[in-house]
């Protein structure tokens, strides 16, 4: 019984974590990138240790090569002067050094080959992981774009059926705006129809006559003769505006 309860709890936690992963793919990708960096660091540590072994073998081979040349020269020198026993000791040591030198050369060659293989394997693995990460990043961005496009398309086409959704809100907002626009247009039309355009034209004619009189008075005071303006053919609107002017002045 307790085992079944434990399995049920683990199942709930697994569903919860899976939901979080679906909602935050970028976070999951960052975690995998960090894991990759940690694995590369650990791999590089082992690779560095192997590279240190290779360098140690190379240094040992160089030292043995120097010793080989030195023992060979000493054995030859003693043999030339007749010191056979001493020359024999140098020759014996020379054999041992040459044997160890061959073994070390073989080990160094094998170690260098292994190092290059490990290095190549690391580069291939890292490149493959980086390619996969780039592909996942592109897939996540593409998923976001497609998801946003789908939501906008649903809103625009009015295919969202849930009450209070964004599509329903936009429809109600459109109705409100259209109603207010209709009311404002009606009020503007009523105000325009209520305006007495004849009185407006009369006022304009009075203002023009007063301005002409003021200009004539100013010119007379300055001693400037004004040329009479060429009368233009009065329009019907002008006749109507000029006609009732005396009456407006009497009032």
| Mean pLDDT (the chain, rounded) | 75
- Domains of the chain, residue spans: 2-160, 175-223+237-246
DSSP state of 160: -
Nearest partner of 87 among 96, 98, 74, judged by Cα: 74
d(CA 88, CA 94): 10
pLDDT surpassing 60 at residue 160: no
| 168 pLDDT more than 70 | no
Q: How does pLDDT run across 186-226, given as a tens digit for each residue?
A: 887 777 776 666 777 788 888 888 887 887 777 777 777 77
Cβ neighbours around 136 below 10 Å, total: 16
pTM for this prediction: 0.45
Query: Greater confidence, 153 or 212?
Result: 212
Most confidently modeled range among 140-144, 165-169, 202-206, 244-248: 202-206
Banded model confidence at residue 14, pLDDT cuts 50, 70, 90:
low
**Would you say the C-alpha torsion 180, 185, 188, 194 has a positive or negative sign?**
negative
3-state secondary structure of 231: coil
Give dist(CA 54, CA 62) in Å, integer: 13
Longest dimension (CA), the chain: 159
């Amino acid at each position: 019984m307790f085992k079944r309860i434990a399995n049920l709890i683990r199942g709930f936690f697994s569903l919860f974590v899976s939901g979080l992963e679906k909602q935050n793919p970028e976070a999951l990708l960052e975690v995998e990138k960090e894991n990759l960096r940690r694995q590369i660091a650990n791999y590089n540590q082992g690779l560095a240790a192997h590279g240190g072994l290779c360098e140690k073998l190379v240094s040992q081979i160089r030292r043995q090569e120097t010793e080989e040349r030195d023992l060979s020269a000493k054995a030859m020198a003693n043999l030339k002067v007749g010191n056979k026993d001493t020359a024999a000791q140098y020759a014996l040591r020379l054999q041992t050094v040459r044997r160890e030198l061959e073994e070390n050369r073989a080990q160094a060659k094998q170690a260098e080959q292994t190092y290059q293989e490990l290095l190549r394997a690391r580069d291939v693995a890292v490149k493959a992981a980086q390619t996969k990460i780039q592909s996942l990043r592109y897939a996540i961005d593409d998923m976001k774009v497609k998801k946003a496009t789908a939501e906008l398309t649903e809103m625009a086409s009015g295919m969202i059926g849930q009450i209070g959704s964004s599509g329903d809100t936009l429809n109600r907002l459109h109705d409100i705006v259209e109603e207010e626009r209709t009311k404002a247009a009606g009020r503007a039309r009523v105000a325009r129809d209520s305006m007495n355009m004849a009185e407006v034209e009369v006022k304009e004619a009075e203002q023009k006559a007063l301005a002409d009189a003021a200009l004539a008075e100013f010119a007379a005071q300055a001693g400037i003769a004004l040329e009479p303006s060429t009368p233009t053919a009065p329009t019907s609107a002008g006749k109507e505006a000029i006609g009732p002017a005396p009456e407006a002045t009497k009032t």
